[in-house]
Amino acid sequence: MDFLDELEELALGTRLKRLSERMLSDAASVYAAFNIDMQPKWFSLLVLLDRRPCINIVEASQLLGISQPAVSQFCRQLEKKGLIVSQICDNDSRKRVLSLSQDGQRQVDNMKPIWQAVTLAARELSQELDNDLYQAIRKFEQALATQSLLKRTLSIYHEHHNEIEFIRFEPKYTNDFKRINEAWITQMFELEESDRNVLNDPVKHIIAKGGKIWFAKHKQLGLVGCCALAKKKELTFELTKMAVVDSAQGLKIGEKLLRFVLQEAQKMPIKRLFLLTNKKCSAAIHLYEKNGFVHDRQVMDEFGANYARCNVAMKYLPIWH
């Protein structure tokens, strides 16, 4: 019995490594059967140089999906065997151009009929038992390129352990409020004077004026998001300083926090709720639109000058009574 069968997809990497080692071992046996002194690990580089003569190490690394140090190591080994030559590039003395030597080209030509037989044998293996392993691997690699195993793991883990608590601001959280907001603002823009004033003293600039601040607290990650309602006029509030830390991105915390704040806003004496943002924040704008905000020229004219970075103004469509 194969213990990896019990582990199923959990051991996928181990199983693929085992399969790869088995295939490489069989490939070495093929070369030995034809009395060819060749290591399977050199195969892809030799074929590349046969089809793309005069290529540098950087290009070879990118085309093969192998690290530059690994390609350099293969090159040294193949040069030592006299199968490839490495010369300084005419256009850039910092780069070395690789090509097959005469002996290397002769050996590659001798191996081509063998490679053709290996191709047919591998294709037969791939398609045996109504399977198409090669195409499945291609699709698997495409899926992995779209989103890595790490991101998928973190997303699924936090989705199932995503216990979010919404807590009100207290003065002891001032540094957290500043930390969370400074991170996203400085990543995309520059801190403005109005930002500094609010982040350094949210009690004075938000709480004391009748506004409120909430935090999203993750069970494992701690305080990961915040959002404020700042009073601007009688019955008029700005939804502002909404942010989620990078470590919690992808957990839909921003959407949950926004919906919570909008629910809390309905308990307050608010007749008009707006926000100011920038076109660069496309994901946030989409989230606002999805939750009832619409673009508004009047809000822009009245409040847009509050931030130099502001080029989008929105108001919350529902009207409370």
* Listed residues 146, 177, 193: the one ending a domain: 146
Q: How many CB atoms lie within 10 A of CB 215?
A: 21
Q: What is the DSSP string of 287-300?
A: HHHHTTEEE-HHHH
pTM of the full structure = 0.55
pLDDT tens for each residue of 249-303: 878 899 999 999 999 999 999 999 999 999 999 999 999 999 999 999 999 999 9
Same domain, 121 and 59: yes
Based on the domain organization, do 59 and 171 belong to the same domain?
Answer: no
Domain check: are 168 and 142 in the same one? Answer: no
**What distance in Å separates the CA atoms of residue 67 and residue 58, rounded to the nearest whole number?**
9
Question: Which of the listed residues 96, 116, 146 is the one where a domain comes to its end?
Answer: 146
DSSP state of 266: T
Q: Which residue has the tokens 């520059």?
A: 190
305 and 271, same structural domain? yes
Residues 124, 131: Cα–Cα separation, whole Å? 10
161 pLDDT tier (thresholds 50, 70, 90):
low
Based on the fold, state whether residues 184 and 260 are members of the same structural domain: yes
Query: For residue 70, is it within any domain?
Result: yes
Task: State whether 84 and 113 are in the same domain.
Answer: yes
Residues 71 and 142 grouped into a single domain: yes
Mean pLDDT for 142-152 is 87
Give the SS3 label for residue 317. coil
Establish if 321 belongs to a structural domain.
Answer: no
Indicate if 309 and 212 belong to the same structural domain: yes
311 and 174 within one domain: yes
Within a domain: 17:
yes
Q: What is the pLDDT of residues 279-294, one digit of tens each?
A: 999 999 999 999 999 9
- Burial category of 168 from C-beta neighbours within 10 Å (exposed 0-12, middle 13-18, buried 19 and up): exposed
Measure the CA–CA gap between 49 and 44, rounded to whole angstroms. 9
Do the strands 312-316 and 222-233 form a parallel or antiparallel pair, or are they unpaired? Answer: unpaired
Range of the domain at 209: 161-316
Q: Which CATH number covers residue 232?
A: 3.40.630.30
Query: Does residue 261 fall inside a structural domain?
Result: yes
What SS3 class is residue 214? strand
**Tens-place pLDDT, residues 199-246:** 999 999 999 999 999 999 998 889 999 999 999 999 999 999 999 999
What pLDDT sits at residue 321?
41
Instruction: State the chain's mean pLDDT as an integer.
Output: 91
Mean pLDDT of 53-80: 90
152 inside domain: no
C-alpha separations of 84 from 90, 159, 183 in Å = 18, 52, 50
Band (pLDDT 50/70/90 cuts) for residue 157 is: confident
Q: What is the pLDDT of residues 82-138, one digit of tens each?
A: 999 988 776 766 677 899 999 999 999 999 999 999 999 999 988 888 888 889 999
From the list 137, 306, 187, the residue with the least C-alpha distance to 238 is 306
pLDDT at 319: 56
Beta pairing, strands 236-244 & 272-277: parallel
In a domain, 151, yes or no: no
Cα dihedral 98, 104, 110, 114, rounded to 10, equals -50
Query: Is 172 a domain residue?
Result: yes
Does residue 155 lie within any of the structural domains? no
Residue 320 has pLDDT above 60, yes or no: no
* Spatial CA neighbour of 304 closest among 321, 279, 283, 284: 279
**8 A C-beta contact, residue 221 and residue 248:** yes
CATH number at residue 131: 1.10.10.10
Q: Which amino acid is at 319?
A: I
pLDDT the model gives residue 22: 93
Claim to verify: residue 310 and residue 167 sit in the same structural domain: yes
Cβ–Cβ under 8 Å, residues 316 and 258: no
Residue that finishes a domain, picked among 111, 146, 181: 146
Confidence of residue 158 (pLDDT cuts 50, 70, 90): low
Total domains in the fold of the chain: 2
Residues 132 and 26 in one domain: yes
The alpha helices in 86-239, defined as continuous H runs, are 102-127, 133-146, 149-160, 174-188, 193-200, 202
Are 89 and 180 contained in the same domain?
Answer: no
